[in-house]
Amino acid sequence: MSSRPTLAAVAARAGVSASTASLAFAGSPRVAPATRERVLSAAAELGYAGPDPLAASLRRGRSGVVGAFIGERLLYAFRDPVALQLLDGISEVLSAHDVGLLLLAGDAGRPSANQIARVPLDAAIFATCGLEDDPALDQLRARGVPIVAVEGPDVEGVALIDIDDRGGTRDLARHLHDLGHRRVEVVAMPLRLDGTSGPVTPERRALAHYRDVRHRIAGVEDVFGLVPVYETPSNAVDEGAAAGRLLLDVDPSRRPTAIVAQSDVLAAGVLQAAAELGLRVPEDLSVVGFDGAELPWLTPTRLTTVVQPSDEKGRLAARAAMDLVEGGAPTRVLLPVELRVGTTSGRAPSSDRSAPR
Amino acid sequence: MSSRPTLAAVAARAGVSASTASLAFAGSPRVAPATRERVLSAAAELGYAGPDPLAASLRRGRSGVVGAFIGERLLYAFRDPVALQLLDGISEVLSAHDVGLLLLAGDAGRPSANQIARVPLDAAIFATCGLEDDPALDQLRARGVPIVAVEGPDVEGVALIDIDDRGGTRDLARHLHDLGHRRVEVVAMPLRLDGTSGPVTPERRALAHYRDVRHRIAGVEDVFGLVPVYETPSNAVDEGAAAGRLLLDVDPSRRPTAIVAQSDVLAAGVLQAAAELGLRVPEDLSVVGFDGAELPWLTPTRLTTVVQPSDEKGRLAARAAMDLVEGGAPTRVLLPVELRVGTTSGRAPSSDRSAPR
DNA sequence: AACGGTCGTCGAATCGATTCGATCCGAGGC
DNA sequence: GCCTCGGATCGAATCGATTCGACGACCGTT
């Protein structure tokens, strides 16, 4: 009936002071083994399960919890294999430090200000959201919570983990160019999460929230100049398929010979659309993706893509977070990516082919 | 340079007592609007972002954090669409209460005792793990943390959210029986997470950790009696495919005419294996799943399956957790499921057919 | 003018540990 | 026999808020 026993109660029963009991639980070498034993068995008798994490956190000034901000609703965010690997990497490192991982994703995709205010965070990782004007960002900074951004907002005082989106897409584009492709179109991930889809206008592009999306467009343009970009409302297979149908179901003379999807998931959708329309890949159409995600159901097709180290990204982000907690200064990292040629890219159809280089 | 301002500092600057300042931040109606204003602007001037969650939590005795235990490593757990929906449901409800969701999954799949001890939890939800002898369970109970189990451990004092696994599989089995199937085999999810795969012996079955797996076997046996059960090491498409290859690549006279996969994900794998072996579904083989998961890449195939309300399960679990936090008594819920006949089940091949009933 | 009732503000106790410097004790050195 | 040293334990301050009962002032009654 009475409330749980406290450290003081245990100490009293063991005949030691609270400070000693605390030391005993912390496993300090300054307490004699025999004493520790006494304390521990007193605790067992009282059903004391160890120091209250809340009280300990308050005193220590650390909560042992790191928050991960997910830009979308959980359900959608984790359909993305890259987001999943990222989070897995984060979780792996945090666990090793006995630190908890708090998921922050609201109903509308964005955690409420209230929620952020109530939750004790040692650090925050912006995992799949890239808003420089995110209100949560200011809120956290005001509170003095260290922040790590993964391909996220590039702001003073924030640690940054980036991958070479632009270089990677450039390699991809060059690969296609070498194969003789000249009519290339891009299927883009959302530029911001407002449900918009369709051809991307310059105005729209100026509104882009996500740096990776911008960079992945820029990489293609480095090689092909201005290309049509079609924005999907969400990074999902079916949206890729929908975009694919629109771009491919046109007069063959206007049909692109290659599609650069900004993610493997979108690319899978485009492949699906191509199959529906009876287009052979890569004979009639090349499709390339980005991420190097594991999509077992794609077998035996192997997507031409750019492999990024998603899990390493997560691990680095978590380590950066732990570093900041320890008082380290924010750093920036740029991770390399690697082109992986699969079975979905080939020479441009002969009627369209230009002599390579 | 100096540390963050405290409530006391803000109060001093506003010329009120700490208690009043606290009331002001809490939005209590007992504080005069003018005073509240003074406090708020004093806070703004000092760069005070609101009461420290840790201190507030300690005093209140609530941390505003609910933990979700994931039985596996994040990466694998969330490949399962059902787990994802479950978590999404949980997240939705918790967000509405301004409560944070802490993911507990260790490197080896199991959070370390240390991690659990350090993290302040108001309640814990056992989301995708069903161990009655989980050490974490005892640890949490000792600490007095309320627990909700989702198809999880059935223990005194724990709230339980269950679905009708047995009834659902029974419906599924009856459906197959009505179609004339007599040689039926089960592809099971892991009975416990130790990497084992292969035919399930009675001894193995006794070791089963997961109630849903046991119930889903029992449901089939209610109709067909003892049937061969093949255990997969992990609930994933490729494991389903591997199992499928083994069970289907045998002499046609011994080949099952129907396979009951314990999840849609496994069923998808079996379908893949069947395709590789040139078996037509449902003409040569019927395949049924469980869950009613959304697997967009399966289109246009529609799996015959049992639909369970995964998201509702999550929402109920979260509500149960909030209830327990408020001091409510643990309850048990059994959610209904519904058979959904798709395109993957049909009459048993004529050579095998027995006259239905 | 005394009194009852509100409304707003304040004091003080409390939540449950951690931690640093001080203290105490016995053993060993000279 | 006295002094020192080191290991074990203890006291007291502290972390930063919340909350309840008390208190003072002001208003309207009778």
- Which nucleotide, over all strands, has the C1' atom closest to the CA of B17? C10
Model confidence band, residue A355 (pLDDT cutoffs 50, 70, 90): very low
Residues B282, B212 share a domain:
yes
Residue closest to C20 C1′ by Cα: A19
pLDDT of residue A352: 55
Neighbour count for residue A245 (Cβ, 10 Å): 16
Nearest CA in chain B to A106: B95
Distance from CA of A351 to the nearest CA of B (A): 32
Q: A71 near A109, Cβ under 8 Å?
A: yes
Domain-located, residue B56: no
Measured between CB atoms, which of B74, B95, B119 is closest to A53?
Answer: B119
Let me know if A15 is exposed, middle or buried by CB neighbors in 10 A (0-12, 13-18, 19+). exposed
Give the domain CATH number at B300.
3.40.50.2300
Q: How far apart are CA A210 and CA A195, in angstroms?
A: 14
User: Are B290 and B216 spatial neighbours (Cβ–Cβ below 8 Å)?
Assistant: yes
When the pLDDT of each residue in chain A is averaged and rounded to a whole number, the result is: 91
When pLDDT is averaged across residues A105-122 and rounded to a whole number, the result is 79
Q: Which residue of A has its CA nearest to B142?
A: A49
Sign of the alpha-carbon torsion through A319, A320, A322, A326: positive
Residue A60 within any structural domain of the chain: no
150-209 of A, contacting B, C-beta below 8 A: none
Q: What is the mean pLDDT of each run of 10 residues along chain B (357 residues)?
A: 83 94 93 94 94 96 93 83 92 92 75 85 86 80 92 84 95 97 96 90 90 94 97 94 96 94 96 95 96 84 96 95 93 95 93 50
Q: Which domain range does residue B146 map to?
A: 65-163+309-337
Show which positions of strand D are touched by protein (CB under 7 A). 7-12, 14-21
Report CA Rg, chain B.
Answer: 26
In this complex, which of B101, B106, B144 lies closest to A103 when CB atoms are compared?
B101
| A57 within some domain | no
In a shared domain, residues B303 and B326: no
- What pLDDT, in 10s, does the model give residues A168-203? 999 999 999 999 999 999 999 999 888 899 999 999
pLDDT higher than threshold 90 for residue A127: no
* Beta-carbon separation of B73 and A88 below 8 A: yes
CB-neighbour burial class of residue A194 (10 A; exposed 0-12, middle 13-18, buried 19+): exposed
User: Is residue A232 a part of any domain in this protein?
Assistant: yes
Chain C bases near protein CB atoms (7 A cut-off): 7-12, 14-21
User: If contacts are CB pairs under 8 Å, which of residues 111-140 in chain A contact chain B?
Assistant: 111-112, 114-115, 117-121, 139
Instruction: Decide the pairing of beta strands A338-340 and A305-307.
Output: antiparallel
- Chain A residues inside the 8 Å CB shell of B4: 143-144
pLDDT of residue A1: 43
Residue of B58, B95, B238 lying closest to A115 (CB–CB): B95
For the cut 60, the answer to whether the pLDDT of residue A349 exceeds it is yes
Tally the domains of chain B: 3
Chain B residues 14 to 43 with C-beta below 7 Å from nucleic strand C? 15-20, 23, 29-32, 34-35
Distance of C1' in C4 from CA in B38, Å = 32
CA distance A105 to A285: 38
CB contact under 8 A, A102 and B104: no
Taking the C1' atom of every nucleotide in all shown strands and the CA of A14, the nearest one is D9
Enclosing H/E stretch for A199: strand A198-199
User: Which residues, numbered 296 to 325 in chain A, qualify as contacts with chain B under a Cβ-Cβ cut-off of 8 Å?
Assistant: 296-297, 311
Residue B191 sits in the same domain as residue B272: yes
* Residues in Cβ contact with A52 at an 8 Å cutoff, skipping those fewer than 6 apart: A6, A7, B120
Contact predicate A351/A184, CB 8 Å? no
State yes or no: pLDDT of A353 exceeds 70: no
For chain A, percent of residues with pLDDT exceeding 70: 95
Residue range A137-151: average pLDDT?
A: 91
Nearest residue in chain A measured CA to CA from B25: A117
Confirm whether B80 is domain-assigned.
yes
The reply to whether the CB atom of residue A22 sits less than 7 A from any atom in nucleic acid chain C is yes
Contacts of B306 (CB under 8 A, 6+ apart): B168, B169, B171, B172, B289, B290, B291, B292, B337, B338, B339, B340
Residue B58 CB in 7 A reach of strand C: yes
Q: Do B115 and A104 touch (CB under 8 A)?
A: no
The answer to whether B65 faces chain A, any CB pair under 8 Å, is: yes
Q: Which residues contact B62 (CB under 8 A, 6 or more apart)?
A: B122, B325
Strands (E), chain B: 65-69, 100-104, 123-126, 147-150, 159-163, 184-188, 198-199, 229-231, 258-261, 286-288, 305-307, 332-335, 338-340
Same domain, A177 and A276: yes
Q: State whether B240 and B331 are in the same domain.
A: no
Q: Which of B227, B228, B234, B226 is nearest to B210 (CA)?
A: B234
State which residue of chain A sits closest to B75, comparing Cα positions. A88
Of the candidates B52, B95, B112, the beta carbon closest to that of A112 is on: B95
Of the candidates A58, A95, A296, which has its C-beta nearest B115's C-beta? A95
A198 and A301 together in one domain: yes
**How do residues A289-329 score in pLDDT, each as one tens digit?**
999 998 877 878 999 999 999 999 999 999 999 999 998 99
Are the Cβ atoms of B98 and A118 closer than 8 angstroms? yes
Whether A49 sits inside 8 A of B142 (CB atoms) is yes
Chosen from A119, A139, A234 to mutate, greatest number of chain B CBs within 10 A: A119
Do residue A267 and residue A183 come from a single domain? yes
On whether both B87 and B135 belong to a single domain, the answer is yes
Which residues 272-291 of A are in CB contact (within 8 Å) with B?
272
Q: Are residues B74 and B188 in the same domain?
A: no
Has residue A195 been placed in a domain? yes
pLDDT digits (tens, 9 = 90+) for A222-245: 999 999 999 999 999 999 999 999
My answer on whether A169 and A281 are in the same domain is yes
pLDDT at B152 (0 to 100):
76
On whether the pTM is more than 0.75, the answer is yes
Contacts of B87 in chain A (CB under 8 A): 74
How far from B227 is each of B148, B220, B332, CA to CA, in Å?
A: 33, 8, 31
**Are both B122 and B143 inside the same structural domain?**
yes
Distance from CA of A57 to the nearest CA of B (A): 7
pLDDT value for B49: 92
Q: Do the domain assignments include residue B346? A: yes
| Residues B92 and B182 placed together within one structural domain of the fold | no
Asked if the Cβ–Cβ distance from A120 to B50 is below 8 Å, we say no
Residue B188 belongs to a domain? yes
Residue of A nearest to B68 (CA): A102
Tens-digit pLDDT profile for residues A327-346: 899 999 999 999 999 999 99
